A and B are shown apart, each in its own frame.
Chain A
């Protein structure tokens, strides 16, 4: 059973719509017991880092997520803020993250002044894999995805970076650390490219 974790910060309707379109049954739930029984998880998210962590704690989801992801090795796909919560900490907030990745979250910083690009990074961008992985199977070179973010991951282990995008400088667009997977962009809003990613997650991971 694939569970989309409903912790009050995501555009869950869009993810459910796309999974339905590709024929992948999924359950939207905030119930820790259901999360404990899931064999695949999606942690969506929009909004602020601390708000995301606070909501996970309030819904008593942190312990069960740690167990399922760290102990049982259940594949989890974090999207946007969902991915950022996997990090140790974020410049955006005070609360510690889930700490599953040796990574932190930083705001976009451009050295040139005036800044050459607007923040947030909002729009479509090409995502290029840096290594082979089931999640990026059958990946056309022009694969583009919809991004909206002002903060991005900085991975301290280069091998965790699965794919990159370029906005002023290269940034991790996707990460893979064992069963811990994530995308900074919104596959649920990215046409056939997002469908491919979800299909790979459902069928190949």
Chain B
């Protein structure tokens, strides 16, 4: 049976793993290699790493760390943060990272997504879309880790990026990040129904049933989460977990 993917989305900051709330207040979780080994042992569907400072600090991807991660991981891997060069994409793919995630630079230079998709194939190119509501309640796309308003609606941007050849969209509701109160189903529904490519929902998962909701009610192709897989209990103690294959099968049945 085919089951939608459930993806831990991990944030890198200065070589450590962190978890944010609404893109703010990063809490240190631990050494990425250790965490990755645990997720590998738990046989997760896929892993996504986002370097949350690479773009802001104008840094290139942390290749050495990613190379170590890729040699420990036997599942699909995505990386985003500071990608603004086709040669860097080539390097990432060569390391064994098969999906590169582009966010801010897609705005600076939309032709970059097109060039990347042409050279490496759409299946390797993911565009991340971070969304927050403005004071009128309208959804707006933000770049640079939620710092810069892009003056675009997520639907419009998603369709543009699909046209440029993005093979997948990672859609994050900034207000839900780290809140564990459920996905923004309305946002997911709007974007997923407007494009043909898979949409990965992110932001807000607090339970396995939330994951299934993102797919069943939101129309997402996959559900990503951070806090759900790294925190335990009301005091947010750090504990790396992942639902068993049987639990996921049941949740998505």
Interface residues of A (CB under 8 A from B): 11-14, 17-18, 20-21, 46-48, 117-126, 142, 144, 146, 148, 165-167, 186, 188-192, 194-195
**Of residues 3 to 46 in B, which have CB atoms within 8 Å of A's CB atoms?**
3-5, 40, 43, 45-46
Complex: how many Å from CA A12 to CA B70? 12
B74 engages A123 (CB within 8 Å): no
B96 engages A17 (CB within 8 Å): yes
What residues of chain A lie closer than 8 Å to B5, measured between beta carbons?
122-124
Interface of B is mostly: loop
Nearest chain A CB to B74 CB, angstrom units: 5
22 A-B contacts, Cβ less than 8 Å apart?
A14-B70, A14-B98, A17-B96, A46-B98, A47-B121, A47-B123, A119-B196, A120-B123, A122-B168, A122-B198, A123-B222, A124-B3, A125-B1, A126-B1, A144-B245, A146-B45, A166-B1, A189-B74, A189-B75, A190-B74, A192-B74, A195-B74
Complex: how many Å from CA A11 to CA B76? 11
B2 engages A11 (CB within 8 Å): no
Interface residues of B (CB under 8 A from A): 1-5, 40, 43, 45-46, 70-71, 74-76, 93-96, 98, 120-121, 123-124, 167-168, 196-198, 221-222, 245
A18 engages B221 (CB within 8 Å): no
What residues of chain B lie closer than 8 Å to A165, measured between beta carbons?
2
Complex: how many Å from CA A148 to CA B198? 11
Residue of A nearest to B195 (CB): A118
A191 engages B75 (CB within 8 Å): yes
A118 engages B74 (CB within 8 Å): no
Residue of B nearest to A123 (CB): B5
B70 engages A13 (CB within 8 Å): yes
B74 engages A21 (CB within 8 Å): yes
B198 engages A142 (CB within 8 Å): no
B2 engages A12 (CB within 8 Å): no
Contact partner, A121, options B2, B70, B121, Cβ 8 Å: B2
Residue of B nearest to A80 (CB): B123
A194 engages B74 (CB within 8 Å): yes
What residues of chain A lie closer than 8 Å to B3, measured between beta carbons?
123-125
